Amino acid sequence: MLWTAFILGFLGSFHCVGMCGPIALAVAGKGKSAYFSNKILYNLGRSVTYAMLGLIVGSIGFSLSLAGVQQIFSIVAGAIILIFAVTYKRADQFLAIPALSGIVMWVKRQLNKFIRARGSFAFFATGLANGLLPCGMVYMALVAALALQNPLLGATYMFFFGIGTIPLLLVLMFSGNIFSLKTRQNFQKAIPYLGVVIGLLFIVRGLGLGMFYSPNLQVFDYGNQQVEITMCE
């Protein structure tokens, strides 16, 4: 499943170029070595934030799994991912919701402060803050991390998602607008298809068909011990 996170991040980066491109280009430094290291630190900062978000939603998913709704939840999460796959661009409209506008403005102020401060830690912090900006691609990845129902797997999934966005953003940082608008649009066309694949994987996983990727999720396997969750009436 981790391979889907990396590919989702890579394809999503073609969408993120327009959103995060100006911030990425603002990350600089004196000298070639500092310039390169600051770019890496910025992108690692984003990935760390994604991993922390994955840890949180993975913990929520684990709590739900203890309630004995693993299979149903996996199916529902898969259906939500299918919806996000075809509407991920519209998800960015959450920026306009008053309840989130205050958070978004706070994050943007932090970004401006860190970029002006410069320095290795400041650029790493810029990445940390940037990872909190609302993004349809991040929402889709978070639903997948939530459906994994495991804090560690959720964090790892989101970290790989962040790593997947790095190659294109690094190219943008060093080469400017190397990809034409048409090229970016062509890559973005693959995002819904990958989202559909991920959504279907989680739906099949929740069906409990007894196959390798579709086990009976009502039984937890911790090492050599199996623990069944019983609900008190």
Interacting residues of 209 by C-beta distance below 8 A, sequence separation 6+? none
Residue type, 69: V
Which pLDDT belongs to residue 160?
95
Checking if the pLDDT of 95 tops 70, the result is no
* Mean pLDDT within 25-51: 77
Q: How far apart are CA 13 and CA 102, in angstroms?
A: 25
Which pLDDT belongs to residue 223?
47
Q: pLDDT digit string (tens) for 188-201?
A: 778 888 888 888 88
Lookup result for tokens 């009976």: 216
Checking if the pLDDT of 222 tops 50, the result is no
Mean pLDDT over each residue of the chain, to the nearest integer: 77
CB 199 within 8 A of CB 81: yes
Chain centre distance of CA 39: 19
Which pLDDT belongs to residue 130?
87
What SS3 class is residue 212?
coil
> Which long-range CB contacts under 8 A does 206-214 form with residues at least 24 apart?
206/70, 206/71, 206/72, 206/73, 206/74, 206/75, 206/76, 206/77, 206/78, 207/71, 207/75, 208/71
Q: pLDDT digit string (tens) for 130-182?
A: 888 878 788 889 999 998 889 999 999 999 999 998 887 777 666 655 666 67
Q: pLDDT digit string (tens) for 39-91?
A: 888 889 999 999 999 999 999 989 887 766 778 888 898 999 898 887 766 66
CA dihedral 97, 11, 87, 76 (to 10 degrees): -100
